[in-house]
């Protein structure tokens, strides 16, 4: 089952409020039980978003089926339910996540949750809970804010350290080769939504003069630090694309990082930003645009339901407006604005701002200034 919103969860320390790390949690558990806070919906209804619980050092090895555990997977601490276990391995699921069971070494188990005992963890039960959560989520919207884009800023401010710690290349080899065929080396490139700086540095390493803009101060600080560590010539500034205007026509191309166009909260704002880009890039400017697309019929229905409910509630909404979820610093699920496009709708909107579509590849559309 693939839902409109992915199951999400994490474990926070109570004081100070921060995501729990395996190392810190092991240290605290060596003294005794620890009170933790759960954020997310993968263990609903046994654990609700924002609820505190007590984790105790595990006593029974291997743990019994149905036991609730705190375990670390890939360095991330989360809550799980035991399906089966032996002396070396424990098989785990989450109560409202229909994904396949996860096998972990017994050594990755950190603690037991005495209050979290159940045996109802079959695939049918987990799928049923997920469907109910999906229906409930359609009733929601991005966190309240006069400017929905600021909910996106809140999300990326909270996640900046995570992005900065990444090491994988952000531009796929296929996209890099495509960009190189279309944009001559030494061209001045604007990276929109430069984040922690990886895409900008990768383009600079490929021979371009790169300037990145991002409206998250935390992300921009990480980008500047990352560029300095890499010895990159890429430059960065914290700016909102809706207000940014190039001083001259020195840019030859603009590269939007993954989904950034979908974080602008109104069609009017998006068109105005694209028109300014067209003027700033000049007559031969190239635009590589990334937005979140929707293809499945049931996803279109979810967007239609959200739009209808927003209108009935008197909220300002355009068809396609929705939200993503993230773990907020408060230890709860946060919700940030996102706009989803049908492919033809996206092309029509960008072309209405003075661009002409040239090509499309996974993740990006290529436009030429008209």
Question: Which of 137, 161, 193 finishes a domain?
Answer: 137
Q: Please tell me whether residues 69 and 189 are part of one structural domain.
A: no
pLDDT for 135 beyond 60: yes
pLDDT of the residue at 1: 42
Q: Is 68 part of any domain?
A: yes
Question: Which of 74, 103, 137 finishes a domain?
Answer: 137
Q: Please tell me whether residues 64 and 196 are part of one structural domain.
A: no
pLDDT of the residue at 74: 82
Mean pLDDT for 234-240 is: 97
Q: Is 320 part of any domain?
A: no
Residue 112 domain boundaries: 9-137
Interval 143-197: pLDDT, tens? 999 999 999 999 999 999 889 988 889 999 999 999 999 999 999 999 999 999 9
Q: Is 241 part of any domain?
A: yes
Q: Are 97 and 42 in contact (CB under 8 A)?
A: yes
| Residue 235, strand partner residues | 211
Report the domain count for the chain.
2
Q: Please tell me whether residues 268 and 225 are part of one structural domain.
A: yes
CATH of the domain at 219: 3.40.50.150
Q: Please tell me whether residues 50 and 94 are part of one structural domain.
A: yes
Q: Is 312 part of any domain?
A: no
Q: Please tell me whether residues 253 and 365 are part of one structural domain.
A: yes
pLDDT for 141 beyond 80: yes
Mean pLDDT for 82-96 is: 94
Sign of CA dihedral 137, 242, 277, 161: negative
C-alpha to C-alpha distance for 152 and 19, rounded to whole angstroms: 20
Residue 305 sits at the vertex; the CA angle it makes with 303 and 306, to the nearest 5 degrees, is: 65
Q: List C-alpha distances in Å: 208 to 47, 136, 184.
A: 49, 47, 8
- CA torsion 147-152-154-158 (nearest 10°) is 180
Q: Is 324 part of any domain?
A: no
Q: List C-alpha distances in Å: 6 to 74, 157, 175, 282.
A: 18, 21, 26, 40
Interval 32-79: pLDDT, tens? 999 999 999 999 999 999 999 999 998 777 899 999 999 998 889 999
pLDDT for 118 beyond 80: no
45 preceded by cis ω (within 30°)? yes
CATH of the domain at 60: 2.10.109.10
Q: Please tell me whether residues 17 and 99 are part of one structural domain.
A: yes
pLDDT of the residue at 242: 94
Q: Is 244 part of any domain?
A: yes
Q: Please tell me whether residues 154 and 133 are part of one structural domain.
A: no
Largest CA distance in the chain: 70
Q: Please tell me whether residues 93 and 208 are part of one structural domain.
A: no
Q: Is 90 part of any domain?
A: yes
pLDDT of the residue at 165: 86
The torsion region of residue 110 among left (phi > 0), alpha (psi -120 to 50) and beta comes to alpha
Interval 179-193: pLDDT, tens? 999 999 999 999 999
Q: Is 303 part of any domain?
A: no
pLDDT for 2 beyond 60: no
Q: Please tell me whether residues 245 and 359 are part of one structural domain.
A: yes
pLDDT category, 3, cuts 50, 70, 90? low
pLDDT for 16 beyond 50: yes
Q: Please tell me whether residues 124 and 67 are part of one structural domain.
A: yes
C-alpha to C-alpha distance for 189 and 257, rounded to whole angstroms: 12
Q: Please tell me whether residues 131 and 268 are part of one structural domain.
A: no
Q: Please tell me whether residues 164 and 248 are part of one structural domain.
A: yes
Question: Which of 116, 137, 158 finishes a domain?
Answer: 137
């Amino acid at each position: 089952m693939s839902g409109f919103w992915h199951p999400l969860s994490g474990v926070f320390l109570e004081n100070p409020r921060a995501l729990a790390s395996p190392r810190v949690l092991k240290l605290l558990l060596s003294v005794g039980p620890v009170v933790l806070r759960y954020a997310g919906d993968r263990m609903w209804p046994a654990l609700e978003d924002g609820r505190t619980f007590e984790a105790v050092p595990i006593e029974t090895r291997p743990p019994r089926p149905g036991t609730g555990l705190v375990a670390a997977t890939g360095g991330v601490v989360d809550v799980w339910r035991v399906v089966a276990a032996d002396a070396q391995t424990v098989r785990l699921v989450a109560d409202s996540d229909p994904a396949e069971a996860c096998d972990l070494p017994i050594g990755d188990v950190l603690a037991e949750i005495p209050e979290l005992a159940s045996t109802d963890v079959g695939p049918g039960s987990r799928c049923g809970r997920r469907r109910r959560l999906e229906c409930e989520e359609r009733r929601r919207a991005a966190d309240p804010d006069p400017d929905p884009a600021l909910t996106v800023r809140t999300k990326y401010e909270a996640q900046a350290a995570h992005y900065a710690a990444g090491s994988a290349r952000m531009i796929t080899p296929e996209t890099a080769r495509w960009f190189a065929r279309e944009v001559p080396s030494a061209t001045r490139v604007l990276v929109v939504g430069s984040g922690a700086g990886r895409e900008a540095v990768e383009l600079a390493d490929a021979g371009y003069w790169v300037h990145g803009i991002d409206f998250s101060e935390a992300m921009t600080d990480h980008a500047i630090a990352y560029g300095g560590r890499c010895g990159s010539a890429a430059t960065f500034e914290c700016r909102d694309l809706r207000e940014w205007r190039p001083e001259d026509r020195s840019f030859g191309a603009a590269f939007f990082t993954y989904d950034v166009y979908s974080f602008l909260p109104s069609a009017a704002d998006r068109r105005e930003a694209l028109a300014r880009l067209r003027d700033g890039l000049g007559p031969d400017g190239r635009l590589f645009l990334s937005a979140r697309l929707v293809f499945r019929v049931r996803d279109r229905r979810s967007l239609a339901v959200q739009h209808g409910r927003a209108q009935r509630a008197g909220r300002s909404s355009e068809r396609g407006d929705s939200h993503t979820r993230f773990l907020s610093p408060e230890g709860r699920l946060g919700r940030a604005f996102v706009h989803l496009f049908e492919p033809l709708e996206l092309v029509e909107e960008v072309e209405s701002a003075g661009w002409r579509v040239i090509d499309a590849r996974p993740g990006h559309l290529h436009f030429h200034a008209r």
